[in-house]
Structure 1
Amino acid sequence: MESELNASRELGGPASRKQTNYTPQQAKLNFKPVKCISFQMSYKEPITKVDASLDNEAASTTSATSLEEFLKLELADREGARIQYRTCSWEKTAALLFSEYVCLAVMSFPWSFSVLGVVPGILCTVFVSLCVLYTSLTLWRFCLKHPQVQDICDIGQHLLWGQRWAWWFTAVCFILNNTFIQGLHVLTGAKYLNTITNHAVCTVDFCVVAAVICFVFSLPRTFSGLSFMGWFSAATMFVAIVLSMVFAGVQDHPGGWDGTTGVTWRLWPAEGTTYVQGMNAVLNIVYTFVGQITYPSFIAEMKNPRDFNKAVYAVTIAEIVLYVLTGTIVYVYVGDAYITAPAFGSLAPVYKKIAFSFAVPTLIFLGLLYASVSARFVFFRIYDKHSQHRRDHTVVGWAVWAGLLAATWVVAFVIAEVIPFFSDLLSLMSSLFDCWFGFVYWGLAYFHVRDVRGGLWDKVQVVLNVGLIVLGFYILGPGVYAVVQSIINSYRAGEVGGVFGCADNGL
């Protein structure tokens, strides 16, 4: 496969605009080690321009040798390293995906269904899941076609016309997205500690405790080393979700029962539902599904990247079933007057503490997963693939790694204190970041892997992907407005004590 590789590049940064043509043989002989910012040890360069003929081929027509030869070069390069990165089977990758999607955000679905109604809630869930499945497969095809472009920032630069600013724009969104997710887990960790201890100490102190615990567990440096924790996290969160559905059905009264207001539920939105409320509910659903920002990193650590679609199909089927059942069952048994986000707060006190406790591994693991991704991103820019600090266990390497993690958790703590609303924080992340990493980028990516000879189906997909791009920008524009207005309304209503406040935020 002919390609154009960068002849000059700033060390560790995005690609230079200057290009030089190589034959495949020259590329193997002349490839220079550079600062690597992917999530494994690899030969990779952010690409500002590729052979135009490649963009007129389907990913399925990629020659078998292009990917396989790339993997052989990578395997030879990392020989002898004590820390190995491309070690994940598709089963291990599925474990990481399950842990990403079988998460605490699932417990926001009953609240979303209470706003939208059961029928629109289910329709929205299925629609978003199919959109994410389609865009995930587009992303996978793109990564197979361009194995040298292996993290979200280089992909963003490639998709946005090879511009230097596009790399930095994607990098900023990438780091902020991950750090906001960490902040969500710090906030929820404090909610759990307040709930289980009946607000024994100041909420700020509980946020500190949650951040420190997550920092300690985020210290492992490879995804393969986290895969067992991923399975365990997904399993315990699944138990928490199932218990919530069971407890909602068997309890005498929902949490917060006042003895006067009955349990009511609706198939359709209540009369007077505002745009802000409806959009927030939709964004909560979108946030839970959109996780493609980590996919290039996971694909880059797989032994055989061609197997990634197996993990995606398995996870999507499980998502649809689990999310629809959770949203419907808990909402119907709890009703409009007593629903909370997360829905653990809608259960009777004892049931609430039991179910919420099973979610603790997920509170820790999913936060540390995104912390690890962010720290790895920066760490691999500091040390290239031949650095001793990257390949071996050195004091300096571990000190820098720990320092990067600590920095992300400090920022996450601040976010948790400034935006202490669970559903609003989910919606804010969805509107600011999921618009790009869930819709716009992969709508653009289709035009790099499309088969122009595909006839009617190709024309249908062109319209579909243009629609995905428009949908992404809609989520960014009116979506951000709805979230900001909701946060303002929450502060006006006094739902929390304020920024860095000690008020009880337990369920």
Structure 2
Amino acid sequence: MGKTGDDLEDLGIAPSQIGEVHDDPANAHDAVFGEINGDGPNYRDVGWLGTSALMMKTQIGLGVLSIPAAFDTLGIVPGVIIMCIIAAITTWSDYMVGIFKLRHPQVYGIDDAGGLMFGRVGREFFGIAFCLFWIFVAGSGMLSVSIGLNALSLHGACTAVFVAVAAVAGFCLASIRTLSQISWLAWVGLVCILTAIFTVTIAVGVQDRPAAAPQTGDWASDFKITNNPSFTDAMTAISSLVFAYAGTPAFFSIAAEMRDPRHYTRSLLICQGVVTGTYIIIGCVVYYFCGSYVASPALGSAGATVKRICYGLALPGLLVTTTLVIHLPGKYIFLRILRGSKHLTSNSMIHWGTWLGCTFSVAVVSYVIASGIPVFGGLVSLIGAFLGTLMSFQPMGLHL
């Protein structure tokens, strides 16, 4: 189905061609950002490899650290089955994001898609949900960074101080204006977090027993093939798995900054393949060796020394996750304020003041959330249950 004049009028921009590609992205007109030239930031300069890195970094970060604990609740076989089902659903939903973006180049975020499908009410509803989701995720990211700093410093300062440090660092890095510039951070963060989680995976395999297990007498892992959790515990575990795949709402924003959106599906398949493979390997191996003594976050499962090593490796990755999830809602608010204005793609004082104000506001609210809910597992489950399913299992194809 083509775009209508009312659709475009609601979004306040001019139509552009389906599958729009910018041969010279430094001097072009974009349906979302308007005129892009050398005098301001280039918002259409993310290649397909950078897109893969950004997609993977929105997912491999916080969620993977809670997967072994989710398997402990569900049992390893039901856990893997449920994870594969969630992976299939989110992959289809993510694929439809790319198709939707090609059909409707004027769409920047999930709120614009909601507007096309459900009118102004849908646009505002999904816009609010998008902001809340990523602000909560940013709070969770700050909390994970503070846990890492606590581990490295042997609790050299109170958690509140480390959360504040994470908030300041996240704000500074999130204020980089384009995803093309952040994509190199995504690669660094991805390598760091993968190195850390595979290190702890190897460590729990070669150690005699996990750190939380009884340290005397014979010991064998009490992992469960299946389990019989209560409804509440099962839903909490499933919510954690949903959260591990809850990058979908970011994929609209990432696709909007791609140099060639036709390569979106290629990037998506790489992302989902790597993510699902990593989750299954990490979840199964760590849970198999640790059983009910698995820690959440999982980096603490192999003892104090390995925990410090792993958090040292993971800290850049956790900080990049925090950076990205502050950047996304900040840019959404920024676009809502300046869309259609010459200041959107300029280097004016209004541009910079608005942009820094948006990222600062997101960082502050996320800091308040992280300080108010200082329990990693609880915050992850809350996000997954409250907003993860809503934002990740959306039938974007309804308005193709």
TM-score (norm 2): 0.91
- The answer for the alignment partner of 1:268 in structure 2 is 225
1:120 corresponds to: 78
Structure 2 equivalent of residue 433 of structure 1: 387
Distance 1:380 1:149 in 2: 12
Q: Which residue of 1 aligns with 2:68?
A: 110
Which residue pairs with 1:221 in the alignment?
A: 177
Instruction: Report the alpha carbon displacement of residue 173 of structure 1 after superposing the two structures with TM.
Output: 0.5
The CA distance in 1 between the partners of 2:184 and 2:138, in whole Å, is: 20
Q: 1:187 to 1:2 in 2, by over 3 A?
A: closer
* TM-fit CA distance, 1:81: 3.6
Question: Shift in Å at residue 118 of structure 1?
Answer: 1.1
What amino acid is the match of 2:155? Answer: H
Deviation at 1:83, TM superposition (A): 1.3
CA distance in 2, matches of 1:98, 1:379: 24
Q: Which has the higher contact order (CA 8 A, sep 6+)?
A: 2
Closer, same or farther: CA 5–265 of 1 in aligned 2, 3 Å: same
Match of 1:154 in 2: 112
Q: Which amino acid aligns with 1:268?
A: I
1:80 Cα shift?
A: 4.5
Equivalent residues in 2 for 1:174-193 (5 A)?
A: 174-193=130-149
Asked if 1 retains the 8 angstrom alpha-carbon contact of 2:20 and 2:105, the reply is no
Moved more, 395-404 or 168-177: 395-404
Q: Are 1:400 and 2:350 counterparts?
A: no
Which of 67, 81, 90 aligns to 1:132? It is 90
- Compared with structure 1, are the counterparts of its residues 87 and 355 closer, same or farther at alpha carbon in structure 2 (3 Å cutoff)? same
Letter in 1 for 2:4: E
Distance, in Å, in 2 between the alignment partners of 1:366 and 1:201 is 23
Contact kept? 2:21, 2:261, Cα under 8 Å: no
1:83 aligns with 2:41: yes
Alignment partner, residue 447 of structure 1: 398
Alignment CA distance shift 1:158-1:114 (3 Å): same
Partner Cα distance (1:131, 1:8) in 2: 30
AA partner of residue 136 (structure 1):
D
Give 1:251 deviation, angstroms.
2.1
Q: Distance in 2 between matches of 1:316 and 1:69?
A: 24
One-letter amino acid of the counterpart of residue 326, structure 2:
A
C-alpha distance in structure 2 between counterparts of 1:97 and 1:316, whole Å: 9
**For the Cα contact (< 8 Å) 1:265–1:331, is it kept in 2?**
no
Query: Please, which of 286, 301, 304 is the counterpart of residue 349 of structure 1?
Result: 304
SS in 2 for 1:230: helix
1:415-473 per-residue CA deviation (whole Å, 9 max, x = no partner) reads 1122222122112111221222211x32xx33333xxxxxxxxxxxxxxxxxxxxxxxx
TM-superposition CA deviations, 1:17-62 (whole Å, max 9, x none): xxxxxxxxxxxxxxxxx4x7xxxxxx469xxxxxxxxxxxxxxxxx
* Counterpart amino acid of residue 308 in structure 1: Y
Superposed CA deviations along residues 225-254 of structure 1, whole A, max 9, x for unmatched, are 001101111011110111011111122331
| Alpha-carbon separation, structure 1, partners of 2:182 and 2:143 | 23
Map of 1:442-481 to 2, 5 A cutoff? 442=395, 445-449=396-400
Q: Relative to structure 2, which stretch is displaced further, 389-398 or 114-123?
A: 389-398
Mind listing any 5+ residue stretches in structure 2 that lack a counterpart? none
Q: Which has the larger radius of gyration?
A: 1
Pairing of 1:308-327 with structure 2 (within 5 A): 308-327=264-283
Q: Deviations over 1:371-391 (max 9, x none)?
A: 11111112222224442x432
Instruction: Report the CA distance shift for 1:386/1:313 in structure 2 as closer, same or farther (over 3 A).
Output: same
Residue 347 and residue 7 in structure 1: after superposition, are their counterparts in 2 closer, same or farther (change >3 A)? Answer: closer
- Cα RMSD after superposing both structures: 2.4
Tell me, yes or no, if the aligned pair for 1:254 and 1:347 is still in contact at 8 Å.
yes
Identity of aligned residues (%): 27
The answer for the alignment partner of 1:468 in structure 2 is none
Match runs of 1:324-339 below 5 Å: 324-336=280-292, 338-339=293-294
Distance 1:384 1:150 in 2: 11
Q: Which digits, 9 at most, give the CA deviation of each residue in 1:309-339, with x for residues without a partner? A: 0011111111221111101111111121x21
Q: 1:210 and 1:267, CA in 2 relative to 1: closer, same or farther beyond 3 A?
A: same
Task: Give the match for residue 301 of structure 1.
Answer: 257
Q: Which ranges of structure 1 fall in alignment gaps of 5 or more residues? A: 16-33, 37-42, 46-64, 450-507
Q: Per the alignment, in what secondary structure is the counterpart of residue 5 of structure 2?
A: strand
What is the CA-CA distance between 1:351 and the residue it aligns to? 0.7
- 1:277 alignment counterpart: 233
1:66 aligns with 2:21: no
Whether 1:209 aligns to 2:165 is yes
